[in-house]
Amino acid sequence: MSDETNEEITTKEEFQEALAYAATVQQETADVAGVQIAETPNDTFGDVLADWWRRIKVGDLGSLPIIVGLLIIFVIFYTLQPLFFSPRNFVNLLLQMAGITTIAIGVVFVLLIGEIDLSIGYVSAVAAVTSVLLLRLDGPALPWPAAIGIALLAVILIGFLQGWIITRTGAHSFVVTLAGLLVWSGVVLIMTTVYSTAGTIVIQDETVIGIANDYLPAMWGWALWAVTNVVFIYSRIARYRALQRQNLATGPVSLLILQILFVAAITGGAVWYANQDRGVPVVFIIVLFFLLFWTLIADRTRFGRYVYAVGGNQEAARRAGIDVNRIRVSVFMITSFMAGVGGIILASRLRSVDTATGGGNLMLNAIAAAVIGGTSLFGGVGFVMSALLGGLIIASVENGMGLLGLPSGVKFVVNGLVLLAAVLIDALSRRRRESSGIV
């Protein structure tokens, strides 16, 4: 057999290996409840639990640490401050997590390919300040869709530029995006101070303000719950049937029904509790849309499989014919786009932008949300929904410490310890999986 033929066969084998790895990771991480599918199609519910426990013992923790962490956080803050569980504070919590969660969705993608983006805080600020300035142009202001569209296009170009520099020069994403952090923070400072000597620009468009300050009537809140659950049920049943057609493990139907009922109960309880106060925030529709959209992209498209493949083994993906540089640049564009959306949400919530927009601990919280939610820093492992789970933890900790009136120094210490715990759990569980031959 000729060398060319041997090389072709090797390439095909590597291609199949890369895609198989991506498919395995997606199947194992898509279940936000942390319950894994059994190894044989006809296993009973008891067999599924036994298989789940076996995976726990070898380090495949799924979302168990997140669930346990949330329970601990809720118990601690409720014990120290009962107002933590009040309907009003619950709605405030939804508002607080919206911006961070949106930015964290983009962070999930960049972590999946084993990269990092330190510029997301000030990239989000570029989008926020740009949109606000376009709404306040001397003379007739731009319509809000045009202003937001131009602002998001600007940050997409920022993502393309940073991704292009990283892929073309071979520079590490840490260094390039750190430089971006400095550059875009300067751009934000220039934009705000040139327009306003006070450094604060108030949003005057009521629609943009309403993004993070309006609430759904009770009936529309329940309509959102119904639509969300219909989409979830459809996706789970479609996945179940797809596994059946491929003669792969599906697990018992009882497990599928239990997952559907669990999600319906949790989301229904959240809508009911929010309706006891102001109702479900309108901004949460945006958050859910992007969660569902990017989950679909990551789990059901070739691009999503390529992202996992690049993060799992970049060299194997390259040899398999995947345009690794194109995937990497696209991911940085996605990350910047989601940072821009999150920045506009945060600006809407504050009703203004200023020289400090995008600063503080925004970047750290967004990255921490993705990592705490279960996305690995080593690349190739994670799921988009982790942004929601991590955002909930970050917002809960921030909200609880705010209710207790803790100083900023204590808040930074606690957030740092929470992030460190998540990183250590990820590293230790990865080591356990490697020693057990799972990864």
Query: What pLDDT, in 10s, does the model give residues 102-119?
Result: 999 999 999 999 999 999
pLDDT number for residue 320: 86
Question: Mean pLDDT, to the nearest integer, of 372-381?
Answer: 81
The model's pLDDT over 19-37, given as tens digits with 9 standing for 90+, comes to: 555 555 444 444 433 333 3
Give every CB contact of residue 413 below 8 A, 6+ residues apart in sequence: none
pLDDT (0 to 100) of residue 277: 92
Looking at the predicted structure, is the pLDDT value of residue 2 above 60? no
Percent of the chain with pLDDT over 70: 82
User: Is residue 42 predicted with pLDDT exceeding 70?
Assistant: no
Yes or no: say if 369 and 393 are a contact pair by the CB < 8 Å rule. yes
**Quick check: 291 pLDDT over 70?**
yes
Residue 259 predicted with pLDDT over 60: yes
Of 99, 340, 349, 350, nearest in space to 200 by CA: 350
CA dihedral defined by 22, 23, 27, 32, rounded to 10 degrees? 40
Distances (CA, A) of 369 to 104, 335, 362, 391, 424: 6, 14, 10, 5, 15
Flag whether pLDDT at 290 surpasses 90: yes
Q: Please give the mean pLDDT across all residues of the chain.
A: 83
Whether 57 has a pLDDT exceeding 70, the answer reads no
pLDDT at 245 over 60: yes
Contacts 24+ apart (CB under 8 A), 1-10: 10/319
CA nearest 134: which of 214, 184, 195? 195
pLDDT of residue 372: 85
Q: Which domains does the chain have, with CATH numbers?
A: 3-30+61-214+281-435 (1.10.3470)
Average pLDDT for 367-391: 86
Average pLDDT over residues 239-259: 78
> What pTM value is reported for the model?
0.85
Do the Cβ atoms of 119 and 181 come closer than 8 Å? yes
Residue 139, judged by CB atoms within 10 A of its CB (0-12, 13-18, 19+), counts as exposed
With tokens 């923790």, the residue in question is: 61
Q: What is the pLDDT of residue 8?
A: 42
Name the least confident of 1-5, 148-152, 273-277. Answer: 1-5
- Write out pLDDT tens, residues 181-199: 999 999 999 988 887 767 7
| 85-108 residue pLDDT tens | 899 999 999 999 999 999 999 999
pLDDT in tens, 417-436: 887 887 777 677 767 666 66
- What pLDDT digit, counting tens, does each position of 311-368 carry? 988 888 888 889 999 999 999 999 999 999 999 999 999 999 988 888 888 998 899 8
Residue 195 is predicted with a pLDDT of 77
The reported pLDDT for the residue numbered 65 is 75
Residue 153: the pLDDT is 97
The whole-angstrom separation of Cα 302 and Cα 323 is 12
